[in-house]
Amino acid sequence: NAGVTQTPKFQVLKTGQSMTLQCAQDMNHNSMYWYRQDPGMGLRLIYYSASEGTTDKGEVPNGYNVSRLNKREFSLRLESAAPSQTSVYFCASTGWQGQETQYFGPGTRLLVL
């Protein structure tokens, strides 16, 4: 049971390049989330998916798109990266194991030059 996995771990992009961050969970959870973490700002929700086939905007969705490919996988795409998108990105999922709990992946560190 790997929990929540993310790829890549690190990425450097040039302004205007595109990339997709991958996330997968093997806990059979319905809900998945993408957050970004910036110094002094805590975590902010970019997008979430309450169930397979649905996605909704979070607090900071501009510049991002998401795809809930199946129940396991939830990807985040940057179509045209900007320096303001330099951040650490975390994927998470929630499910019931006795009580509802949120689990986080190890993060993807993205630097946009």
Partner 1 sequence: AQSVTQLGSHVSVSEGALVLLRCNYSSSVPPYLFWYVQYPNQGLQLLLKYTSAATLVKGINGFEAEFKKSETSFHLTKPSAHMSDAAEYFCAVRAGGYQKVTFGTGTKLQVIP
* Cα 32 to Cα 49: distance, rounded to the nearest angstrom: 5
Q: Are 23 and 75 in contact (CB under 8 A)?
A: yes
Stretch that binds partner 1, among 19-27, 67-75, 76-84, 89-97 (CB under 8 A): 89-97
Shortest Å distance, C-beta 15 to partner 1: 25
Of the pair 10, 14, the CB lying nearest partner 1 is at 10
Sites for partner 1 among residues 15-54 (CB under 8 A): 31, 33, 40-45, 48, 50
Stretch that binds partner 1, among 17-25, 64-72, 78-86, 100-108 (CB under 8 A): 100-108
Which long-range contacts does 66-69 make (Cβ < 8 Å, 24+ apart)?
66/34, 68/32
Of the pair 14, 62, the CB lying nearest partner 1 is at 62
Q: In what order do the strands lie in the sheet with 64-68?
A: 4-7, 19-25, 74-78, 64-68
Q: Are 106 and 9 in contact (CB under 8 A)?
A: yes
Is 12 near partner 1 (CB under 8 A)? no
CB atoms within 10 A of CB 20: 14
Residues in contact with partner 1 by CB under 8 A are: 4, 31, 33, 40-45, 48, 50, 56, 58, 90, 92, 94, 99-102, 104-107
